[in-house]
Amino acid sequence: PGAWYCYCRNGASFSKGYRPDRFPRKKRLLLEMERRLEGIVPRERFQAYTDRQLQAMARVASVQEAAHGRAAKLTGREVGRRLRAICGDLRLQETLRRYPWWKLPRMQAAYAFAMRFQLTGLQRLLVALREKR
């Protein structure tokens, strides 16, 4: 009884499909949200939420980069360069230093650890493991 939901990945979806500029665009949106919130409430009231959102946006963008790299048969070096471009973002690194990512669910914590220390090989491995499920 109740609702039944069947989730499927749609690679052609605008929101889930690969976009090389996904992280910069999402980050720009988040920074604008923070700017507007600062006029309403003190930063300490929303900082944890926006930190969590930024690291989640980076995780989604880097997972897509790793998956796209494998599908497009890019070299490991090229995929690593793209992942480092996301993970090397100064604001993201500041967020990962501040945010208690080790309290996240296991796979998310492992991915946050890989982003924090820019371990691109581990990121690619975690994406491959996720897709084998």
Is 0.85 surpassed by the pTM of this model? no
Residues 6+ apart with CB under 8 A from 51: 95, 98, 99
What are the pLDDT digits (tens) for 23-65?
999 999 999 999 999 999 999 999 999 999 999 999 999 999 9
Within 13 A of 88's CA, how many CA atoms are on the CB side? 7
Residues 6+ apart with CB under 8 A from 73: none
Identify the pLDDT of residue 72.
87
Helix (H, G, I), strand (E, B) or coil at 133: coil
The Cβ of residue 69 has, within 10 Å, a number of other Cβ atoms equal to 21
Helix (H, G, I), strand (E, B) or coil at 4: coil
